[in-house]
Amino acid sequence: MVKQKLFFLLFIAIILSSCFGKKKNIASQLPKLVLTETDTTLVPFGKPQPDLKEYFLLECNGTDTQSIHLATEKFAAKHLMEDLKKYPNYINFLMMFYCRSSEVNESKLLSCSLGSRYKIFLYNKNRFVAAYDYQGTKLIYKDY
């Protein structure tokens, strides 16, 4: 009887550890920049403001949504500092993150003309993870 209880407890421990151990650590996987677009926002009674839009792909399988959002927010803040150095004349920075899939991946992007690559993201909103909109260094909007 004691052996059966020990076996049962060991069995439950193995099952639980296998269930909890499968989540990937998204923080160890850097999002991959796959598309950059530039644009201009016209501001009433002011100078036009240059915009930079960046699209990133992530491996999302087996990762919980909260971990993805925390990791992408951290990554976006750090990446913004690099963008500010690289694009000093830009004011608005929009970073959008999507999960890599058979519909949204590098080979699909390369198969499209440069001007229509954004449509892959537009048509696959179900793969959307997060977006961060910065004006200068200030986060003005985020979407999950």
59 in any annotated domain: yes
11 in any annotated domain: no
Query: What does the pLDDT read at residue 30?
Result: 85
126 in any annotated domain: yes
Instruction: Give me the residues of the chain with pLDDT under 70, please.
Output: 1-28
Query: What does the pLDDT read at residue 48?
Result: 86
Query: Which residues have CB under 8 Å from 88's CB, separation 6+?
Result: none
Half-sphere exposure of 61 (CA within 13 A, CB side): 3
Number of domains in the chain: 1
Query: pTM for the complete prediction?
Result: 0.75
Range of the domain at 115: 23-143
Please give the Cα distance from 6 to 11 (Å, whole number): 8
Contact 32, 55 (CB under 8 A): no
69 in any annotated domain: yes
Query: What does the pLDDT read at residue 1?
Result: 58
15 in any annotated domain: no
